[in-house]
Amino acid sequence: MAASLPVSPLALPLPALTTVSGVRLGAVAAGIRYTGRTDLVMAEFCEGTSIAGVFTKSRCPGAPIDWCRQNLPGGKIRALVVNAGNANVFTGKAGNETCRLTAFEAARLVGCKPEEVFLASTGVIGQILPTERITNALPDLSRTLKEDAWEQAARGIMTTDTFPKASVRRTTITGTPVVIQGIAKGSGMIAPDMATMLSFIATDAKIPAPVLQTILSACTVDSFNAITVDSDTSTSDAVLLFATGAANNVHIDDSTDPVLSDFISALKAVMLDLALMVVRDGEGATKQIEIIVRGATSNESARVIARAIADSPLVKTAIAGEDANWGRVVMAVGKSGEPADRDKLAVAIGGTTIASEGTVVEGYDETPVIAHMKGTEILIEVDIGLGKGESRLWTCDLTHGYIDINGSYRS
């Protein structure tokens, strides 16, 4: 089970965390599934906090996803409740009722409307979530919330994660200092009954919900949507962004306002940090893999090709074996179904061009590539040679560790 997994060899240390004015958090051991660890996290936000969210594209989402989607148009949040150990997915009417009861209890404690409470659950699918363990624990938890409990929150949402994940950036909006701080969990982007990807990011910037939503959606494309561990889309993926407004910066009503450019860069950096931490904690991962596709007929085409490479079990096992098996990269380009011409294709690994114009380059010396493959950060570059489309994705290798974790999770 989660507690017994060895820490990922790609684990990163927790950065020095700060506080975000207007946000207080806490975590408690509610005994939902795990013993001897926290598994219930609550956050309270000051009045006026706006919210944006992006969610899984699964056609069978969990009940908390439905709850969040339903309340997101209101644009306001006062409380967040997250539990680990049970995803509250495929739990029928009981699952919806758990959401309703949890939100009502949190709203009572905070003094807000239930629609201003957002929820997330992560863990096993198809088991009824014991609602009373959450609602019984919330009153005490709500009394202990504090501004500097971000690490506790990061640890409380972990499932098969082997290290807590957080990132922080400071920036300004027309000279007013603002901070962006986020946490995430996930070990496998996309490993639904144990490693659903969740991320919660707060800023003290004052940004209205519609603008916040536009920014969040745009920044998701090249961060959380640019990673894959095992190609399996979770039923519960959610990224929520909160803006408390405590920094009291200038009024903003347009996401394209140039005063936001530094903020957007900083947010992108936080989101990419967190996304890469999820890859680095990918189940069984021993290598982080960056895939850059250029020269495709469009950016979307490049993205589909990059995804085909990143999701190929043959590419991922070859990298686990430190084998620069570029033929499998060619195979993955071919299977993507996107426009490609074998005789214009070029493949480079670790900066060394191995193949171009449909065959291996003359005098190819594998030595530097072999050395690159022994490292923990692998770079694969493919030039399709047809256009200007580009895309960049990150994934991890496929190892015995993945089989170990996923072949025996429930037992």
Q: Restricting to residues 283-322, name those near a second copy by CB under 8 A.
A: 311-314, 317-318, 320-321
Dist. CA 131–CA 176, nearest whole Å:
42
Query: CB-wise, 82 or 125, nearer to a second copy?
Result: 125
Nearest to a second copy of 115, 232 (CB atom): 232
Q: For residue 284, is it left (φ>0), alpha (ψ between -120 and 50) or beta?
A: left
Six-digit token pair at 48?
A: 């006026």
CB of 348 to a second copy, least distance (A): 14
Q: Which residue among 9, 73, 74, 92 contacts a second copy (CB under 8 A)? A: 92
Residues 102, 121, 336, 395: which binds a second copy (CB under 8 A)?
336
Q: How far is the CB of 155 from a second copy (least distance, A)?
A: 25
Q: For a second copy, which is the closer residue by CB, 342 or 388?
A: 342
Q: One of 196, 220, 235, 399 is an active-site residue; which one? A: 196
Instruction: Choose, by CB under 8 A, the member of 69, 146, 170, 335 that binds a second copy.
Output: 335
Q: How far is CA 356 from CA 291, 306, 380, in A?
A: 17, 18, 14
CA distance 144 to 24: 9
Stretch that binds a second copy, among 24-32, 210-218, 224-232, 248-256 (CB under 8 A): 224-232
Q: Which of 80, 106, 180, 398 is the binder for a second copy (CB under 8 A)?
A: 398
Helical packing angle, 63-71 and 92-110, nearest 10°: 50
Nearer to a second copy, 211 or 306 (CB): 306
Residue 284 CB, shortest distance to a second copy, in Å, is: 9
Annotation marks residue 196 as catalytic: yes
Residues 114-173 that bind a second copy (CB under 8 A): 124-128
* Total of chain residues touching a second copy, rule CB under 8 A: 71
What is the footprint of a second copy within residues 65-84 (CB under 8 A)? none
Interface pick for a second copy out of 254, 300, 323, 377 (rule CB under 8 A) = 323
Nearer to a second copy by C-beta: 205 or 354?
354
The yes or no reply on residue 193 touching a second copy (CB under 8 A) is yes
For a second copy, the closer of residues 273 and 338 by Cβ is 338
Q: Which stretch binds a second copy (CB under 8 A): 146-154, 165-173, 289-297, 356-364?
A: 356-364
Q: How far is the CB of 322 from a second copy (least distance, A)?
A: 9
* 235 near a second copy, judged by CB under 8 A: yes
Residues 4-63 that bind a second copy (CB under 8 A): 56-61
Nearer to a second copy, 364 or 377 (CB): 364
The correct pick among 342, 351, 368, 371 for binding a second copy (CB under 8 A) is: 342
Task: Please identify which residue in 359, 365, 371, 388 interacts with a second copy, judged by CB under 8 A.
Answer: 359
* Residues labelled as active-site residues: 196
